[in-house]
Amino acid sequence: MKYLAPLLVAFALLSEAQAQDVKRNIPYADPAHERQVLDIYSPPGAKNLPVVFWIHGGGWQAGDKTSVQLKPQVFVEKGFVFVSTNYRLLPSVEMESIIRDVAKSLGWVHKHIAEHGGDPNRILVMGHSAGAQLAALVCTDDRSLKAEGVPFNVLKGCVPVDGDTYDVPAIIETAETRRRVHGQPQAKVGHREKFGNDPKKHIDFSAVTHVAKGKNIPPFLILHVADHPDNAAQAQRLGAVLKGAGIPVTVFGAKETNHTRINAELGLPDDPPTKALFEFVGEALKK
């Protein structure tokens, strides 16, 4: 019964979906792979509204842009344009191509979102799980966005949600040590393999590697499940590196939730991570 009220709210919000304009499967590459597409949700008559750019999770090998739960409706009702992007997946492509896809998609948004009522100079980048790693990386490593003509100063905030790979070498060592000391076999396709099985790539694909002063890195809100040791440690690690570089950062540990729920319940009234999210967004857009 404790979940009934949130579910009723969710159904109520979803029933109001007619209050938004939705354009689906817009290609952001030319020629475009079938996964190089994005969806745009906007209020009717939208003009010059801030933009949320959402990156789905799925371990870099699954997931879809349509898995956004309440987020489009909630953001649209608050006066945002919401963009959800797909990208190519492992093992069909390597991690470099996934990162380039996300950057290319964000580049398309920067160039074209005004045509859909969004402000190309006020973009907030967010993502869950694998999408959290990708969000944090493109908001700290400016090389991929520079290649797409996106300056960091248009990024007003970054919200990675319960990622475990802001420091890839650390999560590899943690996971493999845990398995080794407990006499368990190593994962056949773990983070080591997904990120290229090359220590240099592991470092390069870590957001913590690229944090530095003077790059216009946007403020961060790092949401994580409080009692998940790996994700909490990674959130604190990224937060400490950002703070050390003088970049505004809030690390918020959500209690009584899990990896799936923290994402699915974003947007629900009285949800603590949601409250933290909109407090952060409000402050970020003042600057």
Q: How confident is the model at residue 287 (pLDDT cuts 50, 70, 90)?
A: confident
User: How far apart are alpha carbons 106 and 113 in whole angstroms?
Assistant: 10
pLDDT, mean of residues 164-184: 97
Strands 37-42, 21-27: pairing is antiparallel
- Cα–Cα distance between 150 and 74 in angstroms, integer? 26
All structural domains of the chain with their residue ranges: 4-167+206-284, 168-203
pLDDT one-digit tens code per residue, 77-90: 999 999 999 999 99
DSSP-assigned beta bridge partners for residue 64: none
What is the pLDDT at residue 175?
96
Q: What's residue 19's pLDDT? A: 72
pLDDT digits (tens, 9 = 90+) for 124-160: 999 999 999 999 999 999 999 999 999 999 999 999 9
Mean pLDDT of the chain: 94
Residue-level pLDDT at 1: 45
pLDDT of residue 146: 97
- Closest C-alpha to 26, from 79, 68, 96, 83: 83
Q: Could you read off the pLDDT of 228-249 as tens digits, one per residue?
A: 999 999 999 999 999 999 999 9
Compute the distance between CA of residue 234 and CA of residue 223 in angstroms, rounded to an integer: 11
Cα dist from 3 to 7, 70, 105, 261, whole Å: 6, 15, 35, 11
Give me 174's structure tokens.
Answer: 């943690």
What's the average model confidence in pLDDT over 27-40? 98
Helix (H) or strand (E) holding 54: strand 49-55
Answer yes or no: are the C-beta atoms of 54 and 127 closer than 8 Å: yes
The answer on pLDDT for 16 being more than 90 is no
The pLDDT confidence band at residue 17, using thresholds 50, 70 and 90, is very low
pLDDT band, very low/low/confident/very high, at 15 (cuts 50, 70, 90): very low
- Say yes or no to pLDDT of 64 above 60: yes
Q: Is 227 helix (H, G, I), strand (E, B) or coil?
A: coil
Predicted pLDDT at 6 = 52
- pTM value surpassing 0.85: yes
Alpha helix segments (H runs only) across the chain = 4-15, 71-77, 95-112, 130-138, 143-147, 168-181, 191-194, 199-204, 207-210, 229-244, 259-264, 272-284
Any idea which residue has 């703070």 for tokens?
243
Contacts 24+ apart (CB under 8 A), 142-150: 142/210, 142/215, 144/99, 144/100, 144/102, 144/103, 145/103, 145/106, 145/107, 147/100, 147/103, 147/107, 148/103, 148/104, 148/106, 148/107, 148/110, 149/107, 149/110, 149/111, 150/103, 150/106, 150/107, 150/110
What's the DSSP call for residue 151? -
Across 155-182, average pLDDT: 98
CATH class of 4-167+206-284: alpha beta
238 and 136 Cβ atoms separated by less than 8 Å: yes
Residue 37 token pair: 């597409």
Radius of gyration of the chain (CA): 18
Mention every residue, 6+ apart, whose C-beta is less than 8 A from residue 5.
none
Burial environment of residue 12 by CB neighbours within 10 A (0 to 12, 13 to 18, 19 or more)? exposed
